[in-house]
Amino acid sequence: MLRVGVLVSGGGTNLQAIIDAVNTGMITNTSIEIVISNNPNAYALTRAKKNNIDNLCISPKTFEKREDFNKALIKKLDEYQLDLIVLAGCMVVLPAELIDKYENRIINIHPALIPSFCGTGYYGLHVHEEVLKRGVKLTGATVHFVDAGTDTGPIIMQKAVEVKWGDTPEILQRRVMEEAEWKIMPEAINLIANGKVQVIDGKVKIQE
Ligand code: GAR
């Protein structure tokens, strides 16, 4: 059983897609052990509660020093003896120590086709605003392992989504979620849970 912890910050639709995929058996060999949010008002926490998944808020704002927040977060994650940490709309910069400790055991969903529209400042709706400004015809989503950089880790899965004339950032965000994010995130977890994902020289090999 792959023991998964999910870090969230907002609405949690990606979390919901993972929960649904576990419940329907699309994801196998997996249990969601804990959901942690940095934002006490994140609807993602309610989604966890509704599904009887342990959940809590650990916010950097409630700690005097960032170092203390980092320690509390790592301690909690360690307690749950997780095999995989999933960043599902997590807007917090993770401690370097955590990334080191969980090398190739943290994955993130990014709402664009990396290496386009990624890196510092590219998160949430901003990504889609920049996509529309540039006028690209294809965007999409990427699931990747998390390394020390911003959106630089090995890419596990990507899916392209069409940009349409007249899209607003909100409309495009929704299409990217529906057509890409909610599909590739559960698929990637299922592949990892079933031992099909290998990192070789910074690249991901998926066993057929
Ligand atoms: C998603 O679009 C996700 O790709 C993005 O935030 C949204 C969270 O939505 N993540 C990032 O931008 C990370 N850099 P959700 O809370 O409804 O899953």
* DSSP per position, 26-92: SS-SEEEEEEEESSTT-HHHHHHHHTT-EEEE--GGGSSSHHHHHHHHHHHHHHTT-SEEEESS--S
Known catalytic residue: 144?
no
CA-based torsion, 110, 114, 120, 122: positive or negative: negative
pLDDT more than 90, % of the chain: 100
Confidence of residue 208 (pLDDT cuts 50, 70, 90): confident
Among 36, 106, 108, 123, which residue has the most ligand 1 atoms within 8 Å of its CB, making it the best to mutate? 123
**Average pLDDT, stretch 113-139?**
97
Q: Whose CA is nearest to atom 10 of ligand 1?
A: 89
Q: What is the CATH number of the domain that holds 78?
A: 3.40.50.170
Structural domain of 8: 2-206
Domain count, the chain: 1
Q: Whose CA is nearest to atom 15 of ligand 1?
A: 12
Query: Which position has the token pair 């910069």?
Result: 93
**Average pLDDT, stretch 96-120?**
98
Looking at residue 75, what is its pLDDT? 98
Q: What is the pLDDT of residues 155-187, one digit of tens each?
A: 999 999 999 999 999 999 999 999 999 999 999
Looking at residue 207, what is its pLDDT? 96
Query: Which position has the token pair 């630089």?
Result: 152
Confidence of residue 118 (pLDDT cuts 50, 70, 90): very high
Pocket of ligand 1 (CB under 6 A): 8, 10-14, 44, 88-89, 109-111, 123-124, 127, 177, 181
Q: Whose CA is nearest to atom 6 of ligand 1?
A: 89
Beta-carbon contacts of 168 under 8 Å, excluding residues fewer than 6 positions away, are: 132
Tell me the C-alpha distance between 69 and 137, whole Å.
41
Output the pTM of the full model.
0.97
Looking at residue 122, what is its pLDDT? 97
